[in-house]
Structure 1
Amino acid sequence: MNVLFLIIIGAAAGFIATRAMKVETDVITTIVIGIAGALIGGLVLRFILMLTGLAAGFVGAILGALLLIWLYQTYIRKP
């Protein structure tokens, strides 16, 4: 089931990635790029999370805090 989910998400990701990178490909190539990227990304992310454990949560907390600081400075605080 996880592989099927990665394939479906990968097809959409391939479409978005080829448009973001301004790459002109046919439909099949776009889907294959997305599926391969999703499989590679999913495996790499799982491996990193397995190795890092709590450190990944810490990095996520830092990124979340940075986002909140940016939102505060951009939209709430008036210079």
Structure 2
Amino acid sequence: MPVLFLLIIGAAAGFLATRFMRVEMSTLATIMVGIAGALIGGMVIRLLLAATGAVAGLVGAVLGAMVVIWVVQRLRS
């Protein structure tokens, strides 16, 4: 169940992050960025706010995915 939850949150976070940053990516890349963002953002949010829950996880996942997109864009240039 946690893996399925991670995929769903990752897909949502990747989708939102690509829309916020106005980046076009394939579906698989969007999900991968979202999952990476979910892992990074989830850990950061939990460490900083000591908050657990779906809303905090989604916010952290979106922020983390945006960081991953930013890093990928910088590495491509």
Q: Identify the TM-score tier after normalising by the shorter chain.
A: 0.5 to 0.7
Closer, same or farther: CA 28–6 of 1 in aligned 2, 3 Å: same
Q: How many residues align?
A: 51
User: In 2, are the aligned partners of 1:7 and 1:38 still within 8 Å (CA)?
Assistant: no
Structure 2 unaligned blocks of 5 or more: 52-77
- 3-state DSSP of counterpart to 1:23: coil
Corresponding position: 1:14 with 2:46: no
Q: CA deviation at 1:5?
A: 2.1
Structure 1: how far apart are the matches of 2:26 and 2:35? 14
- 3-state DSSP of counterpart to 2:34: helix
- What TM-score, normalized by structure 2, do the two folds share? 0.55
Point out the structure with max Rg over C-alpha.
1
- What TM-score, normalized by structure 1, do the two folds share? 0.53
Structure 1 unaligned blocks of 5 or more: 54-79
Q: CA deviation at 1:23?
A: 0.4
Q: Per chain length, whose mean CA-contact separation is higher, i.e. which structure has more relative contact order (CA < 8 Å, sep 6+)?
A: 2
Show CA shifts across 1:43-77 (max 9, x none): 11112234xx9xxxxxxxxxxxxxxxxxxxxxxxx
